[in-house]
């Protein structure tokens, strides 16, 4: 169960609630709301775990890109060393090695930027979901507290 489903259920509870005549207040099923809040408390840590998994994926992708760059660099250096005997070949090998290194570094940088962008996007979406859920929960609590206070005032 994801947080958005729980938020939809909370909204459904609010929509199904009876409105008090001549007010903007509604009567909600307290048990259902608190049950839903408890479920949200369980789901939110799972969403945080998902974000941590995304961060771990990013680190894995960066490590793989670095490893590939190192392998490519090692191969380029090995080829360069084998061709040292002839100057023209050496110059060509050096140029190729630098090109491979530059490409590997560019690929690594692109992979890092894409991983960062992916993680940032995922975290921003998670933040929006959590903010929206927290806002709805706070509104529900405020409403219930206000309704409870009004009920106490109305009793003789």
The pLDDT tens digits for 113-137 are 998 888 888 899 999 989 999 999 9
Instruction: Lowest mean pLDDT of 46-60, 98-112, 132-146, name the range.
Output: 46-60
User: Ranked by mean pLDDT, which of 47-51, 79-83, 134-138 comes out on top?
Assistant: 134-138
> pLDDT: is 86 or 141 the higher one?
141
For 104, half-sphere exposure in the C-beta direction (CA atoms, 13 angstrom radius) is 19
Cα 43 from Cα 56, distance rounded (Å): 20
Q: How far apart are CA 113 and CA 130, in angstroms?
A: 25
Task: Decide: helix, strand or coil at residue 122.
Answer: helix
The whole-number average pLDDT for the span 67-86 is 84
> So what's the pLDDT on residue 70?
92
The CA distance from 25 to 19, in Å, is 6
Q: Which helix (H) or strand (E) holds 26?
A: strand 26-27
Q: Which residue from 106, 110, 122, 2 is spatially nearest to 55, judged by alpha carbons? A: 122
CB contact at 8 A, 24 and 12 = no
In the chain, domain spans: 3-149
Average pLDDT over all residues of the chain: 86
- Residue 76 clears pLDDT 70, i.e. is over it: yes
Classify each residue of 116-155 as buried b or exposed e, where b means 16 or more C-beta atoms within 10 Å of its C-beta. eeebeebeeebeebbeebeebbeebeebeeebeeeeeeee
Mapped onto helix, strand or coil, the DSSP state of residue 23 is coil
Q: Which residue shows structure tokens 């979406």?
A: 125
**Class of 3-149 per CATH?**
mainly alpha
pLDDT at 2: 78
Whether this model's pTM surpasses 0.85: no
Confidence at residue 34, expressed as pLDDT on a 0 to 100 scale:
92
- Are the CB atoms for 33 and 13 separated by under 8 Å? yes
- Confidence band for 12, pLDDT divided at 50, 70 and 90: very high
| Averaged pLDDT for residues 63-69 | 91
């Amino acid at each position: 169960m994801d947080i958005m489903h729980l938020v939809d259920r909370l909204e459904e509870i609010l929509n199904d609630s009876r409105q008090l005549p001549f007010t903007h207040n509604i009567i909600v099923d307290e048990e259902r709301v608190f049950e839903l809040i408890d479920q949200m408390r369980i789901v939110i840590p799972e969403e945080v775990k998902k974000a941590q998994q995304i961060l771990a994926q990013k680190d894995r992708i960066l490590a793989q890109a670095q490893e590939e760059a190192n392998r490519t660099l090692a191969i380029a250096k090995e080829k360069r060393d084998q061709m040292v005997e002839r100057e023209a070949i050496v110059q060509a090998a050096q140029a190729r090695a630098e090109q491979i290194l530059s490409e590997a570094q560019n690929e690594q940088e692109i992979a890092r930027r894409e991983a960062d962008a992916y993680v940032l996007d995922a975290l921003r979406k998670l933040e929006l979901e959590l903010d929206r859920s927290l806002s709805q929960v706070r509104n529900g609590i405020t409403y219930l507290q206000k309704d409870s206070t009004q009920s106490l005032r109305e009793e003789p």
